[in-house]
Chain A
Amino acid sequence: MQNAAQKTQTPLTTFLLRLGDNALVLGQRHAQLCGKAPTLEEELALMNVGLDLFGQARNWLTYAAELEDEGHDADHLAFRRDAHDFRNLLLVEQPNGDFADIIGRQFLFDAWHVHLLEDLAQSSDPRIAEVAAKSLKEATYHLRRSSQWVMRLGDGTEESHARMQRAVNNLWQFTGEMLQADEIDQAMQEADIAPSPERLASRWKATVEEVFQQATLERPPYDAWMYTGGKVGHHTEHLGFLLAEMQYLPRAYPDATVW
């Protein structure tokens, strides 16, 4: 399906949409958690992570909108695109489930996100380098927090261990597309904008192995079957509902230009 948003997309804008959409969609999952945390301290922590992610989404999408030069802004990209135009990883759109699902999703993402941002902070594109450097500080905290929770749950009680292992087993199928480079990733690497996907994959694996080992969790095999498609707009069933809720007001009141 060819549409207005896709016509003007270059590899760089697609890459920016991927970054922005990951942060936006995972942020929205955090918005859904408001008032549901297991402790008051976690309530604050979840909001903190959500705020960071929405802030990052705004930065990436603002840049993408500027490059597209269609007179749109970040809000237009966030609230007026349909699911097939979203470029986020399938992992981040997975539903909240229980706290082990939430932490598992966060950790598998953070372990990738931190290493990606470390390299993007050295990007040949100064705007990307600037946003990545700022985001890296936040993501480093996210990874520290999610790693600690994976260890607590994995090596906590029998019940928490079982829940954490189940969450990892269920989410594992969505990790493949983070590590698998496509032509956009190749183009970004060739332009020195983004890191080599192989290097990123090996660092992700090292982080995951270290934390799982401490958490007494079994790591599913790397050659397991992987569910992919988010990076090219083929999503799971969950994204449509997430967007329907998130985009409700701008869609229901299309004439409203300010809020």
Chain B
Amino acid sequence: MYAQLVETGSTQLKTLDEMGPEERHFQERINDEIKIEPKNWMPDAYRKTLIRQISQHAHSEIVGMLPEGNWLTRAPTLKRKLQLMAKIQDEAGHGLYLYSAMETLGADRDDEIDKLHDGRAKYSSIFNYPTLNWADMGTIGWLVDGAAIVNQVPLQRTSYGPYARAMIRVCKEESFHQRQGYQILLTMMQEGTDEQKAMVQDSINRFWWPALMMFGPSDDNSPNSAQSMAWKIKRHSNDELRQRFLDQTVPQLELLGCTAPDPDLKYNEETGHYEFGEIDWQEFFDVVKGNGPCNRERIESRRSAIDNGAWVREAAVAYAEKRQHQAA
């Protein structure tokens, strides 16, 4: 999941009585679980919030290609190379259809990408961490795609039709990536050398907390949640989803034979849930504000790809115009 801290532009929820007829009709559709489609009336704030959320999600897919791209040239077998390349290609595909879903709301892909490049738009904080060993390719699949799935499964029922439908496809592919990632780690833990096992543990140590941060701030520090929940573009609170993720992930961690870098992590027999230590929220907000290990590098990579390609795009336009001219 790739949308954190999405601004809704509202701090107070309206009741149905306070709404005008169009907005009431809109909210009743949502309450009845009927999808909002591009041609339906929608409040401006709903449209803007969705554009922000979907573009953030799309940007995350695109920026998310970079930490994996860092190991694509060094994947250790042909099978792993093919898997990783296919995964990265899926992410580019997710980016494309999320941008398309966003464009049904009247937004422009190039404008939104400009916002990413000049720092006005966000993407998931997780991709600002470096990938330092091969096991990171497993950990990203397992923890990062795993966290994304927990967040996105409910979004398959989100109120905006094109977004919900995009999520169905995205989730299917990400479940596959998650299994593949876990398989990379399991192979090294079960059949690998001591050095490979150390790689896996090192990778988990580095990605554990950033993965938990992917769900965004805790509920008491999440001012936009109430409106997003009323609009059903968010269906569970950040803390609920984080807990769900942790509960499913810890047994998988144990099966690997690895540990989490959290001395407070323990199972609570009474609640049936795992409890965990305090997240370093200072680090989270630093990374979100642009001060993570790789923020500048990631944006610079994206910007230079687009800048270096300007002459190519101009050529394609010029060629198409010439052809059109000839045909006319």
User: Of B79, B134, B302, B314, which one neighbours A157 at CB under 8 angstroms?
Assistant: B314
Are the C-beta atoms of B187 and A259 separated by less than 8 Å? yes
A8 within 8 A of B: no
User: Of B80, B184, B301, which one neighbours A35 at CB under 8 angstroms?
Assistant: B301
Chain A residue nearest in CB terms to B69:
A34
Question: DSSP majority for the A interface?
Answer: helix
Contacts of B95 in A (CB 8 A): 40
Contacts of A4 in B (CB 8 A): none
Are the C-beta atoms of A54 and B191 separated by less than 8 Å? no
Given contacts A31-B85, A43-B92, A54-B78, contact A157 B73 (CB under 8 A): no
B271 within 8 A of A: no
Contacts of A57 in B (CB 8 A): 78
The interface stretch among A121-129, A165-173, A250-258 is A250-258
User: Of B65, B309, B311, B318, which one neighbours A163 at CB under 8 angstroms?
Assistant: B311
A14 within 8 A of B: no
Interface string of B282-324 (1 = CB under 8 A from A): 0000000000000000000110011011111111101100100
- The CA-CA distance from A45 to B77 in the complex, in Å, is 22
Interface string of A224-259 (1 = CB under 8 A from B): 000000000000000000000110111001011111
B106 within 8 A of A: no
Number of B interface residues, CB 8 Å?
50
Are the C-beta atoms of B78 and A78 separated by less than 8 Å? yes
User: Of B77, B82, B85, B314, which one neighbours A160 at CB under 8 angstroms?
Assistant: B314
Looking at the assembled complex, report how far the CB atom of A72 sits from the nearest CB atom of chain B, in whole angstroms: 13
The interface stretch among A111-119, A139-147, A148-156 is A148-156
A47 within 8 A of B: yes
- The CA-CA distance from A243 to B241 in the complex, in Å, is 43
Given contacts A157-B318, A256-B196, contact A75 B78 (CB under 8 A): yes
Are the C-beta atoms of A256 and B309 separated by less than 8 Å? no
Are the C-beta atoms of B85 and A256 separated by less than 8 Å? no
Interface string of B11-33 (1 = CB under 8 A from A): 00000000000000000000000
Are the C-beta atoms of B78 and A256 separated by less than 8 Å? no
Looking at the assembled complex, report how far the CB atom of A177 sits from the nearest CB atom of chain B, in whole angstroms: 25
User: Of B82, B184, B305, which one neighbours A54 at CB under 8 angstroms?
Assistant: B82
- The CA-CA distance from A77 to B69 in the complex, in Å, is 23
Given contacts A156-B319, A157-B311, A259-B134, contact A35 B76 (CB under 8 A): no
A223 within 8 A of B: no
Interface string of A29-43 (1 = CB under 8 A from B): 001101111111111
Are the C-beta atoms of A159 and B311 separated by less than 8 Å? yes
User: Of B78, B96, B310, B315, which one neighbours A58 at CB under 8 angstroms?
Assistant: B78
- The CA-CA distance from A95 to B89 in the complex, in Å, is 22
Contacts of A246 in B (CB 8 A): 73-74
Are the C-beta atoms of A37 and B315 separated by less than 8 Å? no
Looking at the assembled complex, report how far the CB atom of B50 sits from the nearest CB atom of chain A, in whole angstroms: 20
- The CA-CA distance from A99 to B307 in the complex, in Å, is 12
- The CA-CA distance from A140 to B310 in the complex, in Å, is 28
Contacts of B305 in A (CB 8 A): 35-38
Are the C-beta atoms of B80 and A38 separated by less than 8 Å? no
- The CA-CA distance from A30 to B136 in the complex, in Å, is 21
- The CA-CA distance from A54 to B81 in the complex, in Å, is 8
B193 within 8 A of A: yes
Number of A interface residues, CB 8 Å?
49
- The CA-CA distance from A41 to B99 in the complex, in Å, is 12
Are the C-beta atoms of A51 and B85 separated by less than 8 Å? yes
Looking at the assembled complex, report how far the CB atom of B240 sits from the nearest CB atom of chain A, in whole angstroms: 33
Most buried by B among A31, A32, A50, A248: A31
Given contacts A47-B85, A55-B82, A259-B76, contact A160 B315 (CB under 8 A): yes
Are the C-beta atoms of A256 and B312 separated by less than 8 Å? no
Looking at the assembled complex, report how far the CB atom of B170 sits from the nearest CB atom of chain A, in whole angstroms: 15
Looking at the assembled complex, report how far the CB atom of A146 sits from the nearest CB atom of chain B, in whole angstroms: 14
B161 within 8 A of A: no
Chain B residue nearest in CB terms to A259:
B76
User: Of A163, A245, A257, which one neighbours B191 at CB under 8 angstroms?
Assistant: A257
Given contacts A47-B85, A152-B319, A253-B193, contact A245 B311 (CB under 8 A): no
B195 within 8 A of A: yes
Are the C-beta atoms of B88 and A34 separated by less than 8 Å? yes
Are the C-beta atoms of A156 and B78 separated by less than 8 Å? no
Contacts of B193 in A (CB 8 A): 253, 255-256
B279 within 8 A of A: no
A74 within 8 A of B: yes
A interface, CB within 8 angstroms of B: 28, 31-32, 34-44, 47-48, 50-51, 54-55, 57-58, 61, 74-75, 78-79, 98-99, 151-153, 155-157, 159-160, 163, 245-246, 248-250, 253, 255-259
Which 7 A-B pairs rank lowest in CB-CB distance, beginning with the nearest?
Answer: A38-B309, A156-B315, A160-B315, A34-B69, A249-B76, A47-B89, A38-B312
Q: List 11 A–B pairs whose Cβ atoms lie within 8 Å, in order of A's numbering.
A: A28-B73, A40-B92, A44-B93, A54-B85, A58-B78, A75-B77, A160-B314, A246-B73, A256-B195, A258-B191, A258-B192
